[in-house]
Amino acid sequence: MPTNRCFATTWLAALLAGTVGLAQRPSPDAAPAPFRRPELVAIAWASPKPGPNPESIAPSHFTAWRPDHTAIGDDEINQLKKELREFGTPGRIEDDTLPPLHLVFRIDERARDSQTLTPGLLIDQRHLESRAAQDGSSPNHLALAVVMPSRQALTAWPAEIDLVLQVPIDETSILKTVKQIPESPVDLDPGVRLFWAKVAGMNRSGQKVFPAVGLSVDRDAQPLAHYDFVTHLADGTAESFNSSQIDGTREIHISPPLESKESIDHIDVTRLRYRIETYRKIPIFPERIPGQSLKPTP
């Protein structure tokens, strides 16, 4: 049994380290822990007949299940549908893609911003992208990931899949505030540059007419981060709707037309960081694809 002297020594050590019970608490200025791994809660094939009520799916037209193969009841399906209106609806399907697979995830409840999860497949050590557009998460922290690979990349759905999911690590944050834009580009992160484009757009006659702020991102250098910017003007207004274009491996964001550099008060460059999560051996039951009678590929 410890002696009183041992207890006194322990107490004194705690006092020297700080207040007892507070020494192990994180600093108020410490960065928050990264968002937790999204939890897969529902799997389904998009149904071409969701029913007359867009918020209600007839059981005969739609089934959903959990990763442990157990079925999800009609009431729970309709609750998911109220949160995610696109859940179970086919959307736009191309002739050269496989039927879309829908997966519902529950994201970290600490997330304040809507999150978009970007899915892909791991097939024989190959990464296959989804051709489907992805929507943001719901107010109750549910997010729909739609997997729709091309038939050229995958000829048929297997019985199980390995899914890779690009998920946000934290909220979007301001990487840097730029007060003045010099003539030469400003390096912000590896492969990321802010610049002043003297001629950034054209009118209907094809004449190059207006200057703007531009942000160039090398996707090879930054595969797991999204960058954008907000232009705060001298009159107190702000422009956040930037146009985007892809030039090879570069992603370029261009602000709306600006009169001159002097019209800018400052620019906030934002960054959203991601990580990759992998989900192994998800059962997808391709024989349940509506309107088809399929045998799963091995």
Could you report the per-residue pLDDT of 51-102, keeping only the tens digit for each? Answer: 445 444 444 468 999 999 999 999 999 999 999 999 998 777 778 999 999 9
Contacts of 141 (CB under 8 A, 6+ apart): 106, 107, 108, 109, 111
Could you report the per-residue pLDDT of 147-187, keeping only the tens digit for each? Answer: 999 999 999 999 999 999 999 999 999 999 999 999 899 99
- Residue 195: phi, psi to the nearest 5? -150, 160
- Enumerate the domain spans of the chain: 39-169, 173-274
Could you report the per-residue pLDDT of 2-48, keeping only the tens digit for each? Answer: 444 443 333 333 333 443 333 344 455 566 899 999 999 999 998 86
- Residue 70: phi, psi to the nearest 5? -75, 145
297: how many CB neighbours lie within 10 A of its CB?
11
- Cβ(145)–Cβ(132) below 8 Å: no
Distance in angstroms (rounded) separating the CA atoms of residues 156 and 123: 12
- Residue 191: phi, psi to the nearest 5? 80, 5
pLDDT of residue 185: 95
Could you report the per-residue pLDDT of 143-157, keeping only the tens digit for each? Answer: 999 999 999 999 999
Question: Looking at this protein, which amino acid is placed at residue 14?
Answer: A
CA nearest 222: which of 248, 243, 252, 192? 192
Distance in angstroms (rounded) separating the CA atoms of residues 296 and 283: 11
